[in-house]
């Protein structure tokens, strides 16, 4: 069955996701939101194109999950929690309602975990690949939002996620024979591909970032590239110790089999963890608060002066040369 | 020349549009907005796909203009004024910087006329047609936003735009030989095609809508379809007098040559005018305020009980039968 009419799609598929009264049940062209003096709004926008940001054959539920999760990652890195979002879908005419229902179930899963809800959007036909844009609004207490600006030499650099899982997951989906070359078990492969399709969501990190971070960014274009972006805006440099980069057991296995992968893991990849600069003076309290909230922040480096840029140091003190610093789309 | 890198595009093309401090110069993943207790936020989202919502050969400047203007139309119908917007661009790799610069000039024109400014977005490559999503935020005084809900039998129905211009403009662009069949001059054709490419922006209407409307909607899927949507949410019906529908001189000429066009004009089309219900008691004041603000609101009908649905009455009292009520995308 091809798609039903746009109104039917909204009523059947998306209206159940519009749980906030501001959405007017998606029966209007716009949502009306109340924001108070106490809070600021954080606005972020990400577009996912089939074949670029997800694979054509990815399960639609994971596509919905990912479309919303990558925006939550941006909000979390600002110290904000999710409030509402708009959803734009440009879909080929042959997509069916079952696809849309599964897609919406992925959105619903993120909504349930984060409290964000749908307030509007647009659904159109396209002759091109499915294209999904989410614009998400988050709330943060007044003056508490964290940006890329504010890191100072001497600050410690932390992340709360393992690096490279999604990158290897993508490579395995593109060529399953790599599993053997990398000595990975079936469950390793399942873990890594799931991390590509379903980025981690760690909303508890938002509170810690808000309370402790001097600057933060989410790692969506690779650890090296996003560290570089944070450093550029803050006018600082950074040293990252390769041995301290958190790696999942599956990635550790793959690296043992193919050590050269390291360069790619840190140079590209959709990790969707936060990279956070914390002053030395608050580091002890930050670490103990992180532990008590169950957020696995790990120190992987230090902010330095701007001269050095971002340098990844191996255990024997060499600088890891990168072919490309992160993923760019053109 | 193909496109430069994403960062270059942002710095050269879009950063100049990010005039509000909240945008952080587009150097971050998110914008941080301050909204006060006095105002509510209105959120709307529209996606334009090349070949569906604009023509492949439309000038890029008019595409940028249209992408933002159609969102302003939604905000105006809510009684809100434009605040900030995000822009998502999925573009083929062969698009060049000249195209993007002209596109941005169209955005800038709408920004200058309305005060809205860019705060973020995403730029990605696609193998499909250029796809543009704008999510716009507007501000309206607390509790002053107007929705589709609230029209009552006896209310008067007004619009501030001429109907059918964009529809005929599109038909002329698709088949220029129609100009002769419709007895249109070159300047008529230029007027109508311009109305298709550059929807009207009438931000002064927002104040009048906020102060006088009981319900409102923007006409983006055809007069009949949008009247129907407003009536469904308000649980009312409407009678629209065909003879009172405002028509431009060019459309009047075409209708003389081809009277059957009427059905299509009111049944489909991107008019981007507001359709507004005003109580009988405030109609006189509304009309005089509209006149003094130079907003051409014209009464074209009356809200009735729900039983009749939306009926378009011809001068001899017949009900105009419509083949299709408005444009749906699937």
State the nearest Cα–Cα gap between A229 and chain B, in angstroms. Answer: 9
Q: Is A227 on the interface with B (CB under 8 A)?
A: no
Contacts of B41 in chain A (CB under 8 A): 32-35, 41
Query: What structural domains does chain B harbor?
Result: 6-141 (3.30.1330.10), 156-313 (3.90.650.10)
Residues 6+ apart with CB under 8 A from B8: none
What does the alpha-carbon distance between residue B27 and residue B29 come to, in Å, rounded to a whole number? 7
Looking at per-residue pLDDT, the higher value among B191 and B97 belongs to B191
Cβ contacts of B138 on chain A, cutoff 8 Å: 30
**Residue A56 in contact with partner chain B when CB distance is under 8 A:** no
Tell me the pLDDT tens digit for each residue of B284-327: 999 999 999 999 999 999 999 988 789 999 988 899 877 555 44
Q: Is B162 annotated as a binding residue?
A: no
> Which residues from chain B sit within 8 angstroms of residue A137, using beta carbons?
43
CB of A52 less than 8 A from some CB of B: yes
pLDDT at B133: 97
> DSSP assignment, residue B263?
H
B113 or A36: which leads in pLDDT: B113
CB of A148 closer than 8 Å to CB of A220: no
User: Residues A38, A60: contact at Cβ < 8 Å?
Assistant: no
Contact B74 A45 (CB under 8 A): no
Write out pLDDT tens, residues A141-194: 888 889 999 999 999 999 999 999 999 999 999 999 999 999 999 999 999 999
Share of chain A above pLDDT 70, in %: 96
- Residue B26's region, left for phi above 0, alpha for psi from -120 to 50, else beta, is left
For residue A197, what pLDDT band results from cuts at 50, 70 and 90? Answer: very high
In A140-199, the residues whose Cβ lies within 8 Å of chain B are 140, 142, 145, 147-149
Q: How does B222-260 read in b/e, with b if 16+ C-beta sit within 10 Å?
A: bbbbbbbbbbbbbebbbbbbbeebbbbebbebbbeeeee
**Residue contacts between A and B (CB atoms, under 8 Å):** 221
Kindly determine whether residue B42 and residue A30, on different chains, have CB atoms separated by under 8 Å. yes
Q: Closest CB to A30: pick one of B43, B51, B123.
A: B43
Residues, chain B: 330
Per-residue pLDDT tens over the stretch A56-68: 999 999 999 999 9
How near does any CA of chain A get to the CA of B157, in Å?
Answer: 18
Is the pLDDT at A24 greater than 80? The verdict is no
* β-sheet bridge partners, residue A31: B43
Taking contacts as CB-CB distances below 8 angstroms, the residues of chain A near B233 are 27-28
Write out chain B residues lying below 8 Å of A124, CB-based: 47, 49, 52-53, 329
* pLDDT, position A330: 45
| B188 has a pLDDT exceeding 70 | yes
Minimum CA–CA partner of A128 in chain B: B128
Kindly report the average pLDDT of chain A as a whole number. Answer: 91
Closest CA to A30 of B252, B206, B160, B107: B206
State the smallest CA–CA distance between residue A283 and chain B in angstroms: 24
Q: How far is B150 from chain A (nearest CA, A)?
A: 12
Is B264 annotated to bind ligand? no
Residue of B123, B133, B138 for testing the chain A interface, max A β-carbons within 10 Å = B133
Q: How many degrees, rounded to 5, is the angle at CA A322 between CA A317 and CA A325?
A: 130
Q: Tell me which residues of chain A, numbers 5 to 34, contact chain B at a CB-CB cutoff of 8 Å.
A: 5-7, 9, 24, 27-34
Rounded CA-CA distance A297/A161 in Å is: 7
pLDDT at position B4 is: 56
Residue B263 labelled as part of a binding site: no
State whether residue A218 sits within 8 Å of chain B by CB: yes
Mean local confidence (pLDDT), B249-255: 97
Question: What is the pLDDT at residue B1?
Answer: 35
Q: Say what the pLDDT of residue B323 is.
A: 59
Share of chain B above pLDDT 70, in %: 96
Q: What is the dihedral of CA A159, A165, A166, A170, to 10 degrees?
A: 160
Residue A29 has pLDDT above 80, yes or no: no
Interface contact B95, partner A, CB < 8 A: no
Alpha-carbon distance of A192 to A189, in angstroms, equals 5
Q: Residue A75 in contact with residue A39, Cβ under 8 Å?
A: no
């Amino acid at each position: 069955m091809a798609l039903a009419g746009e109104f039917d799609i909204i009523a059947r598929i998306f209206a159940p996701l519009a749980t906030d009264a501001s959405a007017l049940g998606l029966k209007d062209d716009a949502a009306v939101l109340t924001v108070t003096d106490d809070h600021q709004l954080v606005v972020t926008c990400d577009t996912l194109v089939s074949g670029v940001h997800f694979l054509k054959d990815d399960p639609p539920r994971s596509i919905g999950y990912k479309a919303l999760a990558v925006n939550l990652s941006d909000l979390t890195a600002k110290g904000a929690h999710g409030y509402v979002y708009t959803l734009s879908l440009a879909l080929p005419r042959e997509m069916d309602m079952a696809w849309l229902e599964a897609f919406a179930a992925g959105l619903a899963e993120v909504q349930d975990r984060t409290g964000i809800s749908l307030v509007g959007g647009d659904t159109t036909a396209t002759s091109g690949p499915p294209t999904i844009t989410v614009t998400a609004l988050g709330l943060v207490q007044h003056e508490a939002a964290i940006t890329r600006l504010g890191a100072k030499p001497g600050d410690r650099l932390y992340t709360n996620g393992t690096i490279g899982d999604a990158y290897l997951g993508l490579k395995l989906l593109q060529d399953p024979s790599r599993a053997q070359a990398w000595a990975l078990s079936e469950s390793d492969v399942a873990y890594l591909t799931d991390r590509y399709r379903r980025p981690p969501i760690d909303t508890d990190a938002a509170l810690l970032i808000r309370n402790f971070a001097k600057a933060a960014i989410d790692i969506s274009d690779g650890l090296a590239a996003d560290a570089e972006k944070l450093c550029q805006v803050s006018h600082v440099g950074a040293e990252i110790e390769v041995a301290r980069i958190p790696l999942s057991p599956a990635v550790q296995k793959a690296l043992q089999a193919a050590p050269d992968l390291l360069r790619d893991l840190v140079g590209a990849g959709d990790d969707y963890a936060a990279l956070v600069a914390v002053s030395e003076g608050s580091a002890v309290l930050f670490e103990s608060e992180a532990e008590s909230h169950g957020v696995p922040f790990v120190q992987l480096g230090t902010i330095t002066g701007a001269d050095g840029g971002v340098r990844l140091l191996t255990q024997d003190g060499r600088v890891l040369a990168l072919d490309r610093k992160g993923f760019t789309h053109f």
